[in-house]
Structures are given as C-alpha cells and as structure tokens.
C-alpha cells in the first residue's frame, strides 16, 4: 500500500483537528461591518445582495451543528490532557472550544462575528445583545493555577453555555 497523498490526509482529519472556518468573519468584515472609502459602480451592492443575508435555514442549521460539535470535541479532550499534565494543550482546547462557541452564537442569531478572539465584549454585548452572557465569559479564562484541574471546571462551565445558548 502506497503513501497517502498529503491532500488526502487532510480530508481524513478528525473533525476536532480541522481549523475553524472563517467564512462568517470574512463575509461580516467585508460586507457588514466595513464602510467603503470610495464606491465606483454597483459591485459592493451586488456582493451584498449575493451574500447577505448569509444563511438560509438549512445552512444555518448545518453550521450550528458544526459549531456545537467543534466545541464539544475540544471540551472532551481537556480532562485527558490534564491527566497527562499537558496544561497548555488543555488551555488551547478551552480557547478553541470558546472560538467555536462564539461562532455558534452568531450563527444561532443570524449575525456575523467580527473575530473569534478580539472585540468579544462589543460582539456579545452590543451586536448580540447578551450582556448577561458576557459577564460569564471572562471568568472562563481566570485561573488560580494553570497546573491544576481548574481547566476541567472551566470546560464544564463552557459546556453548559454551549448547551444553553446553542440549542
């Protein structure tokens, strides 16, 4: 049996190993949140007509399922990494799950994220209108000690938010 071509290996990746798709961020930043400095012709309006609103119901449901799966798959790995004392790997999994959660929040509410790791307060409080949720987000990343089981508790908290807000 010959070697598997690199392109083929990428297709076989487990879902949790695939990078988060940034199409929502790209569409949002290009067509929703940006302001053109100069317009010539109707190209921008034609792009907006083609891409906005971004989701029909079937695509929205599919992307929401993907976002939930993405979150849960990273959250499930945290205890295993903690068992092996891979503290930073566990922290990375929490952050990846959080990015998936932000994607899911926007998909569920048919809006576009600005970014998955910047301007979180603006996105959650102002754009999504969820100030009560924002109050629960910064504590997810407040750790007494990285080399402990604290991340397991944080994963449980994020799992609860995913279940509540991405249902």
pTM of the entire predicted model: 0.81
**Helical packing angle, 150-165 and 87-108, nearest 10°:** 10
Task: List the chain domain ranges.
Answer: 55-165
pLDDT in tens, 43-79: 888 888 887 776 678 888 998 999 999 999 999 999 9
Are the CB atoms for 54 and 27 separated by under 8 Å? yes
Task: Determine contact, residues 119/111, Cβ cutoff 8 Å.
Answer: no
Q: Give yes or no for residue 15 having a pLDDT over 90.
A: no
Q: Once rounded to an integer, what is the mean pLDDT over residues 25-51?
A: 81
- Does 8 have pLDDT greater than 80? no
pLDDT, position 45? 85
* pLDDT band at residue 1 under the 50/70/90 scheme: very low
The secondary structure of 63-128, three-state, reads HHHHHHHHHHHHHHHHHHHHHCCCHHHHHHHHHHHHHHHHHHHHHHCCCCCCCCCCCHHHHHHHHC
């Amino acid at each position: 049996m010959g070697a598997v071509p690199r392109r083929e290996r990428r297709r076989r990746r487990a879902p949790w190993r695939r990078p988060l798709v940034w199409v929502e961020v790209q569409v949002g930043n290009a067509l929703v949140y940006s302001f053109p400095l100069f317009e010539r012709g109707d190209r921008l309006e034609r792009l907006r007509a083609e891409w906005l609103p971004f989701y029909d119901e079937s695509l929205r449901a599919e992307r929401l399922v993907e976002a939930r799966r993405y979150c849960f798959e990273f959250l499930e790995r945290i205890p295993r990494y903690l068992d092996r004392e891979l503290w930073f790997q566990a922290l990375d999994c929490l952050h990846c799950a959080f990015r998936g959660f932000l994607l899911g929040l926007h998909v569920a509410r048919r809006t576009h994220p600005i970014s998955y790791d910047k301007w979180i307060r603006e996105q959650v409080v102002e754009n999504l209108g969820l100030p009560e949720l924002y109050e629960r987000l910064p504590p997810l990343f407040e750790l007494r000690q990285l080399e402990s089981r604290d991340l397991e508790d944080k994963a449980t908290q994020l799992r609860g938010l995913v279940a509540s807000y991405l249902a």
